[in-house]
Amino acid sequence: MYEASSINESGKMKFFSNPSYRIVCIPGEGIGPEVVEAALKVLQQVAKLEGFTLQVDYGWLGNTALEQFGSYFPQATIELCDGSDGILFGAVTQGGLLELRKHYDFFCNLRPIRIVDSLLHKSSLRPEKVKGLDILVIRELVSGIYFGPSGRFEDEQGAYGYHTMLYYDEEIRRIARQALRKAQQRRGRLTVAHKENALPHLPWTRIVQAEAINFPGVIVEPMLVDNLAMQMVLNPQRFDVILASNLFGDILSDIGGALVGSLGLLGSASLNADGFGLYEPIHGTAPDIAGLGIANPLGTLGACVLMLQQWGEAGAAQRILVAQDKVLAKGYRTADLSPQGSEILVNTEEIIDLLLAEICSEKYSESGVLYESYK
C-alpha cells in the first residue's frame, strides 16, 4: 500500500513510500513469547520513524496450537500466514515447525554469524581469533534427513529406527545457487560442507561446482563437515559463506553462538523462491530461564533486521543495528553474556528500553542519512 509522499519523524522526505506490512507473529513457548514481544516493540518504533505501518496478527504453532486446535500446525495459522509479508517466530519445544517450513518451502535458511566489537571478549575464543568475524551459514531447510523416510520397527534382531538423508540433485542445485549468489555479493568464498567419504551418493561438491560456472569470481572450497567443525573453532575468520545440508547446518551454526558470545544473539531468515520468509532466533525455548524475563532478545531482533532488509527497508534495519552497537558498547549485558567488571546486568525489558531510547536519539542529516552509519 503506498501514499504519494510523506515526511517521517526524522525529517526525511519519503517519496511514494508509505508502505504497510502485515506480519504474523508466532510466539510459541518458553522464552519465545518474551523475545518476540520485546523485538516487536523495537520493530514498531522503527516503523513509526521510517514512516511505514506494521500490522501484527498472532498465530499458533506447537503445543499452544495443539491445545487450541488439536494440531501442531493448524489451518488457522496457515490462513493467517497466507498473503502476509513475513512470519516472526519465537520457539517451540516440539511439533509444527518442520511442517511450517515445508508448507511454505522455506528452503533457504540464512544464519549470519557476526561479532560485535564490544563483545569480542565474550567469545569462547580469544578476541584476536574472532575480531572482524563475519560468516554467513546457508542451511538447506526443507529436505535431507529431517524429511526423508523414517520409521521405528522391530525384527528378529530387535527394535530399530532409521532416518534417511535423501536429497534430489535439484534441491542441492537451488540452494547452491543462493549460496553462490551470496558469496558473489560478499567476499567470494563458498565453503561447502559435505561428507562424501562416507556418503558418496550425496555429491554436494560436484553439484555446487557445476553451478559455480555461472558465478564468476566465487571460489568453491569443499570441506568434510567434521574438519569444517574443527576449522570453525580453530580459525573461524577464514570463512565467508558456508553452505550446508539441513542436519550439518543445524549443528554447525550453533558453534556460531559460542563464537559470538551467546546463542541468544543470533537470528535467521528462511526464505522461499518468492522471497517470502520466516524470521526466528536460532535458539530454542530455553526452559531453564523461561518466565524469568531475562532472555536475550537480540537474536530475535537480528531476525527482524533480516526481515526489514528483505523488504528493502534498509534504513529501519540500520537504525536497529546502530542502536544495538551503542547499547552494547555502553556495557549493557543480559545474563547470558555474563556481565563482569564495569558491565551492567539488564533484563529483557531493560535492554529493549535502552534500545528504544537509543533509536529515538539517533541523528539524521537533512538528506536522511544516519550520521553514524553501521559498519
Active-site annotation, residues: 146, 195, 226, 250, 254
Which residue, 27, 29, 26, 25, is CA-closest to 286?
29
Restricting to residues 63-122, name those near ligand NAI by CB under 6 A: 91-94, 97
CB of 233 to ligand NAI, least distance (A): 18
211 is in the binding site of which of Mg ion, ligand NAI, none (Cβ under 5 to 8 A by kind)?
Answer: none
Quote the cell numbers at residue 184: 558473489
CB of 271 to ligand NAI, least distance (A): 16
Q: Which of 250, 280, 313, 336 binds Mg ion (CB under 5 A)?
A: 250
240 is in the binding site of which of Mg ion, ligand NAI, none (Cβ under 5 to 8 A by kind)?
Answer: none
138 is in the binding site of which of Mg ion, ligand NAI, none (Cβ under 5 to 8 A by kind)?
Answer: none
Contact pattern from residue 242 through residue 271 relative to ligand NAI, giving x for each residue in contact according to CB under 6 A and a dash for the rest: ---------------------xx-------
Between helix 298-311 and helix 32-50 the angle, nearest 10°, is: 40
Strand partners, 87: 24, 278
DSSP secondary structure string for all residues of 234-272: H-GGG-SEEEE-HHHHHHHHHHHHHHHT-GGG-EEEEE-
Distance CA 351, CA 154 (A): 53
Stretch that binds ligand NAI, among 12-20, 212-220, 277-285, 317-325 (CB under 6 A): 277-285
Specify the residue for cell string 509522499.
5
- Closest residue by beta carbon to ligand NAI: 284
Q: Which of 51, 277, 299, 302 binds ligand NAI (CB under 6 A)?
A: 299
| Cβ pair 328, 116 in contact under 8 A | yes
CB of 159 to ligand NAI, least distance (A): 23
Which residue, 26, 21, 24, 29, is CA-closest to 57?
24
- Closest residue by beta carbon to Mg ion: 250
250 is in the binding site of which of ligand NAI, Mg ion, none (Cβ under 5 to 8 A by kind)?
Answer: Mg ion
User: What is the sign, positive or negative, of the torsion defined by CA atoms of 170, 110, 144, 212?
Assistant: positive
CB of 296 to ligand NAI, least distance (A): 3
291: left (phi over 0), alpha (psi -120 to 50) or beta: left
**What does the chain come to in residues?**
375
**Contact set with ligand NAI (CB under 6 A):** 31, 35, 91-94, 97, 263-264, 280, 283-289, 295-296, 299, 336
- Which residues here bind Mg ion, judged by CB under 5 A? 250
